[in-house]
A = this chain, B = another copy of it.
Amino acid sequence: MEIKVLKNVLDKNMNQAEQNRQALMKHNVKMVNFISSPGAGKTTLLEKTIPTLQETMNVAVIEGDAFTSKDAERLQQFNIPIVQINTEGTCHLDSSSIESAFAELDLQELDIILTENVGNLICPTAFDLGEDFRIAVLSTTEGDDKPAKYPMLFRQARAVVLNKADLLPYIDFDNETFKKDLQDLNPNLQVFETSSTLGTGLWNWVEWLEVALEKEVKRV
């Protein structure tokens, strides 16, 4: 019975995700779902990504947090629509919370929605939000073994951003193991090594993201 109920929850989520996808397509809006462990640097990556996207696109953010609106507050500087979803301890965003967020946004006016999921490497992977694709963010300090230990996200993601590269000189991180495990899980995965603190690797990442969003980018 428990398994049947879980299946119902996931089916219901999938149906709503499909409706979200239709709504996005109707308004020609792309949506990206950022997933990582707590503290991998999703918000900092968004802080470094939004200014470039903003030059040519109308960007909005949906912020998922178990509690607090700390991350949303950090993004207020960009003067873009931000919808905070507090899951009240639930470990992931779901498609019905995204539907509620859509109601607070003017989709007609948007090009891109960046969705920051709750910090969790497992649960968010089971819940389709209706996004175009997923981005895995991993910090170097979490260790090179994480793709093998938490394979779901790395199988699903379009790209991995390996963040906090500035700390590589101070830690044990075997880039070869990391890359090989990723290749075994998902040969099409794009891998970017960034340091949001130093600003390295960000240009390649944002440029790739713009192309992946398939939006006509006319930089002035």
A: residues with CB less than 8 A from B are 1-2, 5, 8-9, 37-39, 65-68, 70, 89-91, 118-123, 139, 141-143, 145-146, 148-152, 164, 166-167, 170-171, 197
Contact B141 A66 (CB under 8 A): no
Contact assessment for B39 and A38 in the assembled complex, using a CB-CB cutoff below 8 Å: no
- Min CB distance A162 to B, Å, is 12
With A2-B5, A39-B37 as contacts: A89 and B139 at CB distance below 8 Å:
no
* A160 vs B193: C-alpha distance when bound (angstroms): 31
Residues of chain B lying within 8 A (CB to CB) of residue A5 = 1-2, 5
Number of copies: 2
- A118 to B, closest residue via Cβ: B122
Q: Does the CB pair B146–A39 fall under 8 Å?
A: yes
Q: Is the CB of A119 within 8 A of B65?
A: no
- Determine if B122 and A37 form an interchain contact, defined as CB atoms under 8 angstroms apart: no
A18 CB to nearest chain B CB (Å)? 20
Q: Known: A5-B2, A9-B2, A121-B119. Contact between A38 and B149, CB under 8 A?
A: yes
Flag if A141 contacts B164 (CB, 8 Å): yes
Q: Which residues from chain B contact A167 at a C-beta distance below 8 Å?
A: 141, 167, 170-171
Task: A66-B152, A120-B120, A170-B170 are known; give 10 further A-B pairs, CB within 8 A.
Answer: A1-B5, A37-B142, A67-B148, A70-B145, A91-B120, A91-B122, A91-B123, A119-B150, A166-B170, A167-B167
B146 near A38 with CB under 8 A, answer yes
Q: What CA separation (Å) do A39 and B142 show in the bound complex?
A: 4
Could you tell me the distance in whole angstroms from the C-beta of A170 to the nearest C-beta in chain B?
Answer: 6
